[in-house]
Amino acid sequence: MRGFVTVARREIAENRMALLAALIAGMSPIAVPIVRNFHGAHASEERSLVVFFAAVTLAAGLSIALGFSTLSQGISNRQIGFFFARPLSSLTIWAGKLTGVAALALAAALIATLPTLLVNGGNLQMPFGWSLWLFLALALLLIPVSHALSVLLRSRSALIGADFLVFGLAALVVALAARPLVRAHAVIALRWGLIGVAVIVWLGVLAAGYRAVARGRTDIRAAHRALSPVLWSAVLGGALLFAGYTAWLLAATPADLQGAWGTFSSQGRYAVLSGELRHRFDYRPHFVVDLRNGRFLKIHPTGSAFSSAAEKMIWIDERDGELYRLDLASRAWPPQPTRIILSSRWGSLALSPDGERVAIVESSFGKRSISAYEVSTGRLLAAASLPDKSNGRLCFVGQDRVRVYAGNQFAAPTELFSVAIWELDIPRRRVDRVGELGQIRRRTLLKVSPAGDRLLALDRPTGAVTLADARSGRPIAAFPPASNVAKRNARFLSDGGFVLAEVLGKSDARLRLFDRDGGEFRTIALPNAFFAVAGEEVAPRRLIVVCRDRELANWTTQAVLLVNLDTGEVREVARGLHPVGVWAEWMGDDPSHFSLPGSDATKLFYAAAGNSLVYFDPLTGERHAVLGPHRP
Amino acid sequence: MTTPREAAVSLERLMVRYGHATACEDVSLSVTRGAVYALLGRNGAGKSSLVRCLLGQQKPTAGRAFLFGEDVWKRRASLMARVGVVPEEPDAPPAMTARQIADFCRRLYPSWDQAAVNQRLERFGVPTDVPFGKLSKGEKGEVMLAVALGHEPELLVLDDPTLGLDVVARKALYEELVGELADRGTTVLITTHDLSGIEGIATQIGILKDGRLVLDEDAETLKSRFRRIRYGNQMTETRSAYGTELDVFEAVKVKVRGWGVDAVVSNYDDVSFERFRQTDGVVDAEIAPMSLEEIFLAVAGEGPAEKAIGAQIAKGASR
Amino acid sequence: MRALHVDPADSTPIWSQIEEGFRRLVASGALLPGVVVPSVRDLARELSINPATVAKAYQRLAESGVLTVRRGEGTYVSDSPPAMGRGERARVLKDGATRYASLAVTIGAGAPEAAQELQSAWKQFRDGAKGEKR
C-alpha cells in the first residue's frame, strides 16, 4: 500500500505543471462573459457552461495525454527500470501510476472550476442538467484506454495489424447484430446493449494494460504480446455477448408480452399484437398470433388488414414498403411477398372479404391514387387517381367495389368539412364520386353496417351521431348533441339496426335501440354509469356494455354488463375487462370492421389484472387467459 | 558448482532472443555469496540482456534466473528488497533531486539508512537539490550508487558503472565498493570495461563472447594459468614458425614475429615450462604474467578465428 | 601504506604480494614492531582490492606471527620475531626457497646468480634493521 501511494504521489509530482495549466484554464469562464458583455444570471449561466466544457475537456485531455505517456514512455526511454529495480510489484507500479494520473486529471478539472465557483457564489448550473461528476468520471475512464493504445503503438510491432483486424471483426459483429434493433427503432435496447459491450471492453482494456506491465516490464514488445490476447478476448467476447443479447432480444415470443394490444380478425381467432415485452426495453415487434394454438409470426408492419370472410391477411412491411400476405390457415406460415411495393411506407389499405384483392390508397408527390391488386399474383387490377388531396378510409363492398371516404387530414380538429365518397369499380377500372357526407370533423368515427348499406358517423368530442346511406352519404337520421347527453357512442347490430349508448349527467346512462332506418323502439336504462360504451354482441341480441361507475375510475375497475336487447335485462358479468373490439375502434379506423356475433372476437378482453388477454364468455362464465403471465 | 540454494545469483541455460537475433545463448553461471563477479564482454556480447533477465526486468526466451534461490521473474518485487541496482544508464526521473530520490526510496524498503546515504552523497560531493537530469554523468552514477546501497542490500548489481567517469570518480566508486565489501560482505555482480580497475577486486571472472559464456572461473586460478610465452624456434628453418611444442600449454593466440614466437597460453605450469625450456630448438624462452585486460583481449578478441579457441578455454576452466 | 605496492597483473596472487610486502617492510625495518597497520578495510580501499584478499594476507601474517591482532584495538606489527618450532621454521624457509628458486628458474637465472642475489638482499635487510635499531 505504501508503495502504491509513493508511486502515485510521484506521478502527480512529475506532472504538477498540469495544475498550473488548470488554474489558467479556470480563468476563461470568467473572461468569456466579460468579453461578450453578459451580466447577472446570464453571465453566471455562461460561466457555468464554459467551465463545464473546460473542466471536462481538461480532464479528458490530461487523461489521454498522460495515460499515453505514463508507463509506456518510461519503457521507451528506459526510465521504467527505476521502478522495476525497487521492491514494487507490477500491480503497484501500474495501479500507482494510473491512479496518480487520474487524481491529477480530476484535481486539474476541479481546480479549473474554482474561480467560476467563487464568482458565481457557489452556484454551478450544469447545461441540460448534466452531472459534471459523471462526465469527469467518463473522462477518467479514458486513462487505461490511452495506456493500452500507447503500448500498441509504441511497440512498433506487426502485431498491431492483428489487433486492428480483431477490432474490425468485432465492430462488424456488433454492427450486424445491431442492425435489426436499429430497424426496429429499439433505441433504448440498443443503448443498453452497447453500454454493456463498452463496459466489457473497458474492463478488458484495463486487464490487458495490467498484463502488459506485468509480463512486458521493460520490454515494450513483450508488453504488446501480453496485452493483445486479453484485449482480443474482451473485444470479441463483448461483441459476441452483444450478438447473443440481440439474438435473445429478437427471439421474443408473444408469451413475453406484457400488456398486448392490437387488431383482431373478425372471428377473433387471429390477431396482430404488439406491446411491451418483458425485459426487452423498447423493442416492440408485432406478432401475428393464432390465439387458438399460440402459433406466431413476427412481422414489422406499418399497417395490416385481415380478410373478413377468409383466413388471410396482408401487411405493409415497414422496412421496404412491400406488401406481404399470409395464408393463416396454411400449415406453415411463411410470409409471402406480393411484389406490390408502396411508393411510401404508409397508405390506407383494405382487403377484400375473400382475401384475394387488396385496395391501397397512396399519396406520392402530392397526388393521391387508389389501386387494386390481385394479392396472390401481385397483378394490378385497377388504378385511378383520387382528385382529393385527402386521407381515405377504405372498405370493400363485396369483391368488386371499394368505397373511399376521403377525409381532410389538414383540417383543424374542430373544423367541419364534407367527406367525398368515391367508389372504385374494379372490373370496370374506374373510380366515381358517388356521394358526399357532411358535417364531419377529423376525429369523426365512421362505421359501415355489416350489409354495407348504412353508415354511422360518430363525432366523438360532441357526441353527434348521424345515420346515413353508406353510398350516397344522404342522412337518414341525425342525433345532434343534446344538453343532457354528456357522452354518446354508437354501434351497428347484426340485424342491421344500431344502438346508441348515452351518458346523461354524472350517473345515468341508457341504451337506445334503433332499426335500420333510424326508428327508435326501445330504451334500456344502465345503472350508475358515468361512462358507457357499447361493445359487441356475444350472441345475437346479447350486447356487452362497459360502464364505469365512479368519477375517477379507469378501465381497471370498469364493469362489464351483459344486456339482453330483447328483454332489457342488464346484468353485471365481470370487472376490470375491456373488449378488444372497443379498444381497436379507438386506436384504428377500419369502418367495415365487424365482429361476428358469438364469435371469439366478441369474447376477447384485455384484463387489467396481469396485463393479459383473456377469453371470457359472459353467457357461460368460461374464462381463461390467452396471453400473458397467467397463461395456462 | 554451487547449488541454487547457496548462490546469490544463478543462471540456468539462459537464452535471450529478439526475433532472429540472439543476444545470449545457453548461459549458465553461479555467483557464490560474498563473491565479486566481474562479467566481461565486448559491446553487443549480450551483457545488458543478461543483466535485465537477472533482475527480473525481462523474461528470457529460455532458461531461468534465480536470486538467492528464488526465481527472479516470479518473485521480483520481494527480491528487489535485497538487491541494489546501479544501471548502465542512470534511470531516475530527471526532475527529481537526489534528496527526493532518496526520500522516494526510503518509503519502499523496510530498512533504510538515510544517514549513510547522506554521508555517501557528501563524500561524493553531489549536490542534493539539483534535478537529476542536470547532474553530470559521474554525479548521476554516484547518486544511483548511494541510493542502491541505502537499504543495505545483500546483492549489488552494477552495469558498467564506470562508463564515462573520470579517474577521480572511478577511484571514489571503487573505494565505496570496497568499503561495502569490507563492512557487509555484499555479493557483487559487475559488468564493466574497466578491467584494470576491477582486477584486484573481482573474485570471479566471466567472459561473454557472442552471447555465450566462454569463461567462468575463479580470478586467481585464471591468472595463474594464463601466461605469455616468448621464445625463438630453431627447430624449423626460420626462427619464427612453430610446431607442436606449445600444445601442452594449450595456446590461445600465437603471433609469429621477426624475432620469434609470441604465444598466449591458457594451461601454464612451471614444471611444463622447465621442460619446454629444455626442449631442443627452443631458445630464449621467457614468460610474462598477463593482466586481466590482456587475458580478455586474448579470449574475447576479434573474430571467427578465435571461436574454436573459446571451446578450448572453456575446457581448460573445468580443472 | 605508500610502500606497499600490489600489481594485480602479476602472476603471484595478490594476498601473496601483500604478505610478501609486509614481510619485506618488517624485515627492512620500515615497519617497526608495535606499529599499528591499516585495518583490512582501509588497506583494501587504498589499494582498490578485495578486502577478503587483504584479510587472507593478514590472517597468514598473524598465523606466522608477523602481525598481532588485538581485539578492539587493531592490528599491530609483532614486537618480536615469531616464536616458531624448528620444524615450522624449516617449512617456512623451504616454502620461501622453493618460490624463489622457481622464480629464478623461470627467468632463466642460474643457481650461483640466484644465491648471490639472495645474499646481498639479506645484507640489505640486516643493515637496514641494524640502522633502525641504532
Specify the CATH number for the domain of residue B232: 3.30.70
Q: Interface of chain B against chain C, CB under 8 Å?
A: 34, 36, 171, 174-175, 178-179, 181-183, 196-197, 199-203, 220, 223-224, 227, 270, 273-274, 277, 285-287, 289-292, 294
Helix (H, G, I), strand (E, B) or coil at A597: coil
| pLDDT at B145 (0 to 100) | 94
Report chain B residues whose CB lies below 8 A from the CB of A214: none
β-strand pairing of A508-514 with A498-504: antiparallel
Q: Report the pLDDT value the prediction gives residue B240, as an integer from 0 to 100.
A: 52
> Taking CA A192 as the corner, what is the angle to CA A188 and CA A195, rounded to the nearest 5 degrees?
135
Nearest to A257 by CA among A285, A278, A279, A286: A278
Q: Please indicate if any CB of chain B lies within 8 Å of the CB of A17.
A: no
Do B104 and B138 lie in one domain? The reply is: yes
Range ranked top by mean pLDDT from A237-246, A320-329, A604-613, B307-316? A237-246
Residues B127 and B36 in one domain: yes
pLDDT band at A368 (very low <50, low <70, confident <90, very high): confident
Do residue B95 and residue B138 come from a single domain? yes
CB contact under 8 A, C51 and B227: no
A281-293 residue pLDDT tens: 889 889 999 888 8
CA distance A342 to A250: 26
Tell whether B81 and B110 lie within a shared domain: yes
**pLDDT at residue A631 in the model:** 40
Residue B165's CB is within 10 A of a number of other CB atoms, namely: 20
Q: Which residue has the cell 453500454?
A: A195
Q: Are residues B25 and B152 both part of a single domain?
A: yes
Q: Do domains A300-440 and A443-598 have the same CATH topology?
A: yes
Percent of chain A beyond pLDDT 90?
30
pLDDT value, residue A369: 84
B-facing residues of A in 199-258 (CB < 8 A) are: 215, 217-219, 222
Residues of C in Cβ contact (< 8 Å) with B175 = 45, 48
Answer yes or no: do A87 and B81 touch at CB < 8 A.
yes
DSSP B163-177: TT--HHHHHHHHHHH
C-alpha B37/C-alpha B53 separation (Å) is 16
Tell which wins on pLDDT, A194 or B261: A194
Q: Which of A402-416, A585-599, C6-20 has the highest mean pLDDT?
A: C6-20
Confirm whether B253 is domain-assigned.
Answer: yes
Nearest CA of chain A to the CA of B93: how many Å? 7
Question: Does residue A473 register a pLDDT over 90?
Answer: no
- Is the Cβ pair A87, B80 closer than 8 Å? yes
Q: Is the pLDDT of residue A347 over 80?
A: no
CA atoms lying within 13 Å on the CB side of residue C18? 29
Q: How far is C101 from chain B (nearest CA, A)?
A: 11
**B–A touching, 3+ CB–CB pairs within 8 Å:** yes
Task: Kindly report the nearest CA distance between residue B202 and chain A, in angstroms.
Answer: 23
Return the bridge partners of A492, or none: A498
Looking at residue A551, what is its pLDDT? 62
Is there a contact between C11 and B227 if contact means CB atoms under 8 Å apart?
yes
- Contacts with B222 from chain C: Cβ below 8 Å: none
How far is Cα C33 from Cα C18, in angstroms, rounded to an integer? 18
B210 is a domain residue: yes
* Average pLDDT of the residues in B274-297: 87
Instruction: Give A299 to chain B, closest Cα distance, Å.
Output: 57
For the ranges A334-348, A515-529, A550-564, B177-191, the maximum mean pLDDT occurs at: B177-191
Of A85-89, A403-407, A527-531, B132-136, the poorest mean pLDDT is in A527-531
Residue B217 and residue B260 in one domain: no
What pLDDT score was predicted for residue C129? 60
Cα B39 to the center of its chain, rounded Å: 2
User: Phi-psi bin for B126: left (phi > 0), alpha (psi -120 to 50), beta?
Assistant: beta
- Measured between beta carbons, the chain C residues lying within 8 angstroms of B224 are 11, 13
For chain A, give every domain's residue range: 2-250, 300-440, 443-598
Domain edge (last residue) among B159, B189, B221: B221
| Largest pairwise CA distance in chain B | 75
Partner residue facing B91 (CB), from A10, A13, A81: A81
pLDDT attached to residue B319: 40
| CA distance readout (Å), A202 to A237, A245, A316, A407 | 12, 18, 42, 56
Residue pair A232/A152 in contact by the 8 Å Cβ criterion: no
Is-contact B265 B246, C-beta < 8 A?
yes
Give the dihedral of Cα atoms B93, B97, B99, B100; nearest 10 deg. -50
What integer pLDDT is reported at residue A143 of this predicted model?
Answer: 96
CATH number given to C14-77: 1.10.10.10
Our separate counts of H helices and E strands in chain B read 11, 14
Task: Say how far apart CA B113 and CA A139 lie, in whole Å.
Answer: 42
| DSSP class per residue in A519-569 | -EEEEEEETT-SEEEEEEEEETTEEEEEEE-STT--TTT-EEEEEETTT--
pLDDT of residue A248: 94
Determine the topology of domain A300-440 in CATH: Methylamine Dehydrogenase; Chain H (2.130.10)
Size of interface A-B (CB pairs under 8 A): 68
What is the C-alpha to C-alpha distance for residues A97 and A5, in angstroms, rounded to an integer? Answer: 9
| Structural domain total, chain B | 2
Chain B touched by A82 (CB under 8 Å): yes
Choose the final residue of a domain: B221, B238, B256.
Answer: B221
B198 and B268 inside one domain: no
Q: How far is CA A219 from the centre of its chain?
A: 53
Sheet with A270-277: strands ordered across: A257-264, A270-277, A286-290, A296-299
Task: Please report which confidence band the pLDDT of residue A630 belongs to, taking 50, 70 and 90 as the band edges.
Answer: very low
Best A70, A217, A220, A225 residue to mutate vs chain B (most B CBs within 10 Å) = A217
Cβ-contact A580, A306 below 8 angstroms: no
- B41: in domain: yes
Round to whole Å and give the CA distance between A577 and C122.
Answer: 134
Burial class (CB in 10 A: 0-12, 13-18, 19+), C85: exposed
Q: Pick the more confident residue, A23 or C1.
A: A23
Please give the pLDDT value at position B4: 45
> How many Å lie between the alpha carbon of B56 and the closest alpha carbon of chain A?
8
pLDDT band at A536 (very low <50, low <70, confident <90, very high): confident
Average pLDDT of the residues of chain A = 86
Q: Pick from A371, A361, A365: which is nearest to A406 by CA?
A: A361
DSSP B97: B
The answer to whether A591 and A579 have CB atoms below 8 angstroms apart is: no
Kindly list the residues from chain B whose CB atom is less than 8 angstroms away from the CB atom of residue C13. Answer: 220, 223-224
| Cell numbers standing for residue A96 | 500507482
Decide if B270 and C105 are in contact by the 8 Å CB cutoff: yes
Average pLDDT over residues A78-86: 93
Could you tell me if residue B132 is inside a domain?
yes
State the smallest CA–CA distance between residue B173 and chain C in angstroms: 10
Search chain A and give the residue with CA nearest B75. A89
What is residue C108's predicted lDDT score, i.e. its pLDDT?
82
What average pLDDT does range B46-68 have in this prediction? 94
**Cα separation, A21 vs B63, whole angstroms:** 49
Cell, residue B214: 566462454
Q: Which of B78, B83, B104 has the CB atom closest to A10's CB atom?
A: B104
Same-domain status, B179 and B207: yes
User: Which candidate in B178, B205, B266, B286 is best for mutational testing of the C interface (most C CBs within 10 A)?
Assistant: B178
The pLDDT of C20-49, averaged and rounded, is 87
Which CATH topology does A443-598 take? Methylamine Dehydrogenase; Chain H (2.130.10)
Residue A492 neighbours by CB under 8 Å, 6+ apart:
A447, A449, A450, A454, A456, A498, A594
Please report the pLDDT score of residue B308 as a whole number.
Answer: 52
Q: How confident is the model at residue A553 (pLDDT cuts 50, 70, 90)?
A: low
Asked if A92 reaches chain B (Cβ–Cβ under 8 Å), the answer is yes
Among chain B residues, CA nearest to A226? B59
Give, in degrees to the nearest 5, the angle at Cα A577 between A576 and A580.
155
Mean pLDDT of B114-128: 92
Give me the mean pLDDT over the A239-249 stretch. 95
Q: Which helix (H) or strand (E) holds A591?
A: none
Residue in this structure with the C-alpha cell 353527434, named with its chain if needed? A464
Burial of A32 (0-12, 13-18, 19+ CB in 10 A): middle
Q: Which residue of B has its CA nearest to A7?
A: B104
pLDDT at site A52: 87
| Structural contact between residues A615 and A631, judged by C-beta atoms closer than 8 angstroms | no
Q: What is the mean pLDDT of residues A87-92?
A: 96
CATH number for B12: 3.40.50.300
Dist. CA C104–CA C80, nearest whole Å:
31
- pLDDT of A397 > 90? The answer is no
The whole-number pLDDT of residue B271 equals 87
Residue at which a domain ends, from B172, B192, B221: B221
Across the interface, whether the CB atoms of C49 and B181 are under 8 A apart is answered no
Q: What is the mean pLDDT of residues A485-495?
A: 85
Band of the pLDDT at B154, cuts 50, 70, 90? very high
- Three-state DSSP at C68 gives strand
Q: In what order do the strands lie in the sheet with B70-71?
A: B21-32, B7-18, B62-67, B70-71
Task: Specify the pLDDT at position A481.
Answer: 84
Residue B147: give the domain boundaries. 7-221
DSSP structure class, residue A289: E
Q: Judge if B150 and B233 occupy the same domain.
A: no
* β-bridge partners, A564: A542
Backbone torsions φ then ψ of A613, nearest 5 degrees: -100, 125
- Find the CB nearest C9 among B183, B277, B289: B289
**Predicted pLDDT at C94:** 86
Residues B283 and B304 in one domain: yes
Q: Which of B179, B196, B277 sits opposite C45 (nearest CB)?
A: B179
B105 reaches A (C-beta below 8 A): yes
Res. B318: pLDDT tops 50: no
ipTM above 0.85, yes or no: yes
* Cβ contact, residue pair A85, B108, below 8 Å: no
Q: Is the pLDDT of residue B128 over 50?
A: yes
Burial of A331 per CB tally in 10 Å (0-12, 13-18, 19+): exposed
Closest CA to A187 of A283, A267, A323: A283
Q: Which of B85, B89, B95 sits opposite A85 (nearest CB)?
A: B85
Mutation pick from B48, B49, B58 vs chain A, by most beta carbons of A within 10 Å, is B58
Do the Cβ atoms of B147 and B116 come closer than 8 Å? no
Cβ of A84 and B104 within 8 Å? Answer: no
Angle value at C-alpha C130, between C126 and C133, nearest 5 degrees: 140
Percentage, residues of chain A above pLDDT 70: 95
Q: Please list every residue in chain B whose beta carbon sits closer than 8 Å to the beta carbon of residue A86.
A: 80, 105, 108
pLDDT greater than 70 at residue A258: yes
Which residues in C lie closer than 8 A to residue B182 (C-beta atoms)? 40-41, 44-45, 51
Distance CA A361, CA A622 (A): 42
Helix axes A132-140, A142-154, angle to 10 degrees: 20
B18, B68, B108, B160: best mutation site toward chain A, by most A Cβ within 10 Å? B108
Return the bridge partners of B229, or none. Answer: B263, B287
Q: Which chains touch B (3 or more CB pairs under 8 A)?
A: A, C
Per-residue pLDDT band at A632 (split at 50, 70, 90):
very low
User: Strand pairing of A392-397 and A380-386?
Assistant: unpaired
CA of A80: which chain B residue's CA is closest? B91
Q: Do chains B and C touch (3 or more CB pairs under 8 A)?
A: yes
| Residues B213 and B234 both lie in one domain | no
What value does the mean pLDDT take over residues B20-37?
93
Q: Are B223 and C13 a contacting pair at CB < 8 A? A: yes
The mean pLDDT value for C114-124 works out to: 86
How far, in Å, CA of A301 to CA of A511, rounded?
Answer: 37
On whether any CB of chain A is under 8 Å from the CB of B59, the answer is: yes
What pTM was computed for the model?
A: 0.83
**What pLDDT, on a 0 to 100 scale, did the predictor assign at position C104?**
86
Query: pLDDT at residue B3 above 60?
Result: no
Residues of chain C with CATH 1.10.10.10: 14-77
What is the predicted pLDDT for the residue at A184? 86
The pLDDT score that the predictor gives to residue A390 is: 63
**All three cell numbers of B279:** 626442449
Closest CA of chain C from B217, distance in Å: 15
CA distance B301 to chain A (A): 30
Taking CB atoms and an 8 Å limit, are B200 and C106 in contact across chains? no
Average pLDDT, chain B: 87
Confidence of residue C134 (pLDDT cuts 50, 70, 90): very low
